Structure 1
């Protein structure tokens, strides 16, 4: 099967390092290494973890109207995004659903977009189908993407260029590392301080080996990436977000910039605006994304149905695992709005048994982004 799968520029290095490879979003990707998922998770929380995220899509939008064009597709302020800053954004559809989530960076002469691997082709098609006059879309095919995450990430990367230590959360810059021109942002998907680094494909292996030579750095696979992001309450597209789910239902109100909301200077003007802004204004939706903490040791997985004390089905789990940092099962899912109250007990049906879980505020463990 791996013959039919795409490979990242670091595929050979993963094999050399003894990674267990699995199909993911059309790529042959490392799910874990010799340490194993739990130890990789804990290492990232304690030191620095290195992730190959080269399967993600890297795109450029160029042209004087690039920001205004992108604003027509996302409920986010792109026009006033400062140079050297990045912002979380959502592609929405006409019904207010989420088609993908992405990161947008303003590099001054262009916008740099990172989109999810599973949605990459549809996102490119969506941008091309709506492309405004004078705006050029470039699909970047010759760069790998690495994430260095954890409390020691800044110390490690500063050994290659001290300038990275001056960056704060959601800063982005073109920075030389090992004499290589890299696009570096202080961001990530683990809840920890850290960086995402776009590096030319032909330099990616040498760069990864340099980072791995530091005692504090270990390879981390998709397994621990999933448990890390879930503990910190971060959504995974295709699981916690999909085309039928609105940003309001997904508890992503913080991602809708005030200037694009009702009464804002550039109100609406994006797909599904009427639906989304109505939900925000009236604070009404049939369901909401919630965090759940297990009262037993058994993990509760995606697809598990949720019930109330009277055995009424009230929701479903969209992500679930045992949280190595938290030390108990954690999950997120969607629940009927009337049942959504912090501290409420719900029951997850696992192999015919109803396991008690408590609705708890996310993140389950504190996010430790560096804000200066």
Structure 2
């Protein structure tokens, strides 16, 4: 019998594009995880905003096992009941008229950007192709999405990258006004920049983007891969702003841990994604859609969404208490259960140093770049787990402070 895999096996067998922490979780329940040695962890990472109902939630387990005994995969030559049920629920609960499914957030954004250009081509001709995105944005790892993203480090060495993409300053409407013109087909924005530092867009900024897009006959695309499906305290973050996009992308929490992505759009735009223009082998997979339907209907309830708001305040209070003692944070920001704590000047760039220290204390947590500590836990994380996890975080921060003194 082969020995259990170890962290050294990762370095031996896997490509080196990741550098995971030392612990290997083998079991999860709710907002707790256990590693190979039986050590318990509080999970504030949530699979990077994916495990929106924690680990092994009964509704998701039931949906997966029930569908697993029916049909797994059909391809897009056929459709399935779970696919149509999930599409119907998403359309009825949002601004959208049509849904498209794929396997990840990057694929959802790839589809959105292709649709935006195709729509402009169909309606205005090939010159209307420019996409405006934002510095520090993150939209995925395909060559197209990483080019639209506003972090050059992710596209360096993979050129030549797709053209016709320019980047404005997030929350700076005048920088968009300086770039937008009649050749612009779309403005692409995260309502909350996630990987770029957990920074919410302002109301005026989002409203201004909508007005500029309308003025120049461009589409407004919201990337809600990280902020969507309850993460903000509403089903989608656009609902906080009262501004409707033309295209919205969704993934992560949509499957609660099962890989699925989606793109939502309107009847005005959808016809440009005609038969043969785009596709995904696993898109609309019955297994994924069955789990997605269970996740969506479980999350989009007053009980869960109101609970997100209450938990946000609890996290913020704990962060502020820690900061009053140790002075390690400059700003606590975010929306719902996507929260970022920017490091103070004295600890600039030290956010990543907290991860292994937290792991030693039995806490899994995230960063958003080198200078922002990020939490994106289950939307239903018990308040006792928040209390315990923040106590463990404080112990890790005490170690960080001691190392710096």
Normalised TM-score (structure 2) = 0.29
Structure with the higher fraction of residues in helix conformation: 2
Normalised TM-score (structure 1) = 0.31
